């Protein structure tokens, strides 16, 4: 069986279209399938729509989360419920064309465990967005040992083996692209055309994107923590040399005590450096705190049509669902 996991937030308008296109494509594959929508705390009629989709075709299932947990966690929820031998993750706004699914499945049948969709165009994003993405991926590449496949979006197929590993990772600060890459296995890209947004608007807010970028960096590298020791070493060495210079100057030219501006500037500069380094430690510490609390990754308000084997997270889900 094939499972399709789709996170949705306020997507009521496109869902019927999505269902039609999915059915057309998936029925052509000649194998059983299920679609698991994860409603990430929508405020519009998405949940009602999902119920209707399920009534029309029970292969469309849904998990309604109790509030907005963010896309990365919604994807994680979808994968926990996925029962198939492979799972496909895609967006619910029709930007990831269902028609590209057969190409992903073909590569999986060839023996690849991770098949990621490669965006052949990025025109659907604003210039600023593209620029920021470029900076982020550049920084990520420099700092992290996990290699992200170039141009890979969030549209991908993963084998059961990968799903099982992901389901065992219950970190809260989730950066799926990195996690998929971290798991490893044989992977390959398949190009696809990103469609324009159905209603022209990204569901991400800038603040969320920033948070997401920070999560990505912080969960995949500790370099920002370590640079401060090197910087400290360097600054101390400079201070030592400067002290020597002052000493020699005093011995040769006699005592002279200028340098009030130098003093102020260096005090301000180094308190700035210290505050930044403290802030970086805080970023990591805050995340350690979040993880240590061990709260469930997500809370399910309602399950529509999903059932059967609850999988390894059974106890958590029993607590989670009313």
Binding site for Mg ion (CB under 5 A): 91, 93, 95
Does position 64 interact with ligand UDP (CB under 6 A)? The reply is no
* CA atoms of 280 and 268, how far apart (whole Å): 18
Among 37, 53, 59, 91, binds ligand UDP (CB under 6 A): 91
Beta bridge partners of 114: 158, 187
Does position 40 interact with ligand UDP (CB under 6 A)? The reply is yes
Beta bridge partners of 116: 156, 189
User: Cβ distance 11 to 42 under 8 Å?
Assistant: yes
Task: Return the residue nearest ligand UDP (CB atom).
Answer: 203
Q: Where are the alpha helices (DSSP H) in the chain?
A: 15-27, 46-56, 71-81, 101-109, 127-143, 160-168, 176-183, 206-220, 223-253, 260-293, 314-320
- Residue 298: Cβ-neighbour burial (10 angstroms; 0-12, 13-18, 19+): buried
* CA atoms of 53 and 15, how far apart (whole Å): 8
Q: Is 149 helix (H, G, I), strand (E, B) or coil?
A: coil
Strand pairing report for 152-159 and 86-89? antiparallel
Question: Which of Mg ion, ligand UDP, none does residue 9 bind (CB under 5 to 8 Å by kind)?
Answer: ligand UDP
Residue 152: which H helix or E strand, with range? strand 152-159
Q: Which is nearer to ligand UDP, 63 or 158 (CB)?
A: 63
Does position 71 interact with ligand UDP (CB under 6 A)? The reply is yes
Residue 116: which H helix or E strand, with range? strand 114-119
Interface region with ligand UDP, contact rule CB under 6 A, candidates 24-32, 63-71, 282-290, 302-310: 63-71
Question: Which of ligand UDP, Mg ion, none does residue 70 bind (CB under 5 to 8 Å by kind)?
Answer: ligand UDP
Q: Which is nearer to ligand UDP, 7 or 178 (CB)?
A: 7
Q: Which is nearer to ligand UDP, 174 or 203 (CB)?
A: 203
Interface region with ligand UDP, contact rule CB under 6 A, candidates 79-87, 171-179, 201-209, 248-256: 201-209
Does position 317 interact with ligand UDP (CB under 6 A)? The reply is no
Q: What are phi and psi of 87, to 5 degrees?
A: -125, 140
Among 137, 204, 228, 284, binds ligand UDP (CB under 6 A): 204
- Residues numbered 132 to 161 that lie near ligand UDP (CB under 6 A) are none
- Residues numbered 244 to 263 that lie near ligand UDP (CB under 6 A) are none
Does position 113 interact with ligand UDP (CB under 6 A)? The reply is no
The contacts of residue 116 (CB under 8 Å, 6+ apart) are 149, 152, 153, 155, 156, 157, 180, 187, 188, 189, 190
The whole-angstrom distance between residue 245's C-alpha and the CA centroid of its chain comes to: 51
Q: Considering the complex, what minimum distance in angstroms separates the CB of residue 228 from ligand UDP?
A: 33
Residue count at the site for ligand UDP (CB under 6 A)?
16
Among 9, 114, 152, 213, binds ligand UDP (CB under 6 A): 9
Does position 95 interact with ligand UDP (CB under 6 A)? The reply is yes
Question: Which of ligand UDP, Mg ion, none does residue 8 bind (CB under 5 to 8 Å by kind)?
Answer: ligand UDP
Does position 74 interact with ligand UDP (CB under 6 A)? The reply is yes
Closest CA to 78 of 194, 156, 131: 156
Q: Considering the complex, what minimum distance in angstroms separates the CB of residue 205 from ligand UDP?
A: 9
Question: Which of Mg ion, ligand UDP, none does residue 105 bind (CB under 5 to 8 Å by kind)?
Answer: none
Task: Return the residue nearest Mg ion (CB atom).
Answer: 95
User: Cβ distance 8 to 15 under 8 Å?
Assistant: yes
List contacts with ligand UDP (CB under 6 A).
Answer: 7-9, 11, 40, 68, 70-71, 74, 91-93, 95, 202-204
């Amino acid at each position: 069986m094939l499972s399709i996991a789709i996170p949705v937030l306020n997507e009521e308008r496109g869902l019927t279209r999505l269902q039609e296109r999915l059915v057309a494509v998936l029925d052509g594959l000649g194998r059983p399938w299920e679609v698991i929508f994860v409603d990430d705390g929508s405020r519009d009629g998405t949940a009602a729509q999902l119920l209707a989709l399920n009534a029309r075709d029970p292969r469309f299932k849904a998990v309604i989360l109790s509030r907005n947990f963010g896309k990365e966690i919604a994807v994680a929820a979808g994968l926990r419920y996925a029962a198939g031998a492979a799972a496909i993750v895609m967006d619910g706004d029709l930007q990831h064309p269902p028609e590209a699914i057969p190409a992903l499945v073909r590569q999986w049948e060839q023996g690849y465990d991770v098949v990621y969709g490669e965006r052949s165009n990025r025109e659907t994003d604003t210039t600023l967005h593209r620029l920021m993405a470029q900076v982020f991926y550049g920084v990520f590449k420099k700092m992290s040992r996990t290699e992200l496949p170039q141009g890979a979006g969030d549209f991908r197929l993963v084998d059961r083996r990968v799903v099982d590993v992901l389901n065992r990772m219950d970190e809260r600060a989730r950066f799926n692209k990195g996690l998929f890459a971290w798991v490893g296995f044989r992977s390959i890209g398949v190009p696809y055309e990103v469609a324009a947004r159905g209603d022209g608007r990204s569901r991400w807010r800038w603040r969320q994107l920033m948070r997401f970028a920070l999560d990505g960096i912080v969960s995949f590298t500790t370099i920002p923590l370590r640079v401060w020791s090197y910087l400290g070493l360097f600054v101390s060495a400079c201070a030592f040399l400067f002290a020597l210079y002052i000493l020699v100057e005093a011995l040769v030219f006699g005592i002279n005590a200028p340098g009030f501006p130098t003093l102020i500037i260096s005090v301000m500069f180094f308190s700035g450096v210290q505050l930044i380094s403290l802030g970086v430690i805080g970023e990591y510490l805050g995340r350690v705190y979040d993880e240590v609390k061990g709260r469930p990754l997500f809370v399910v308000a309602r399950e529509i049509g999903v059932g059967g084997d609850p999988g390894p997270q059974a106890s958590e889900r029993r607590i989670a669902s009313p």
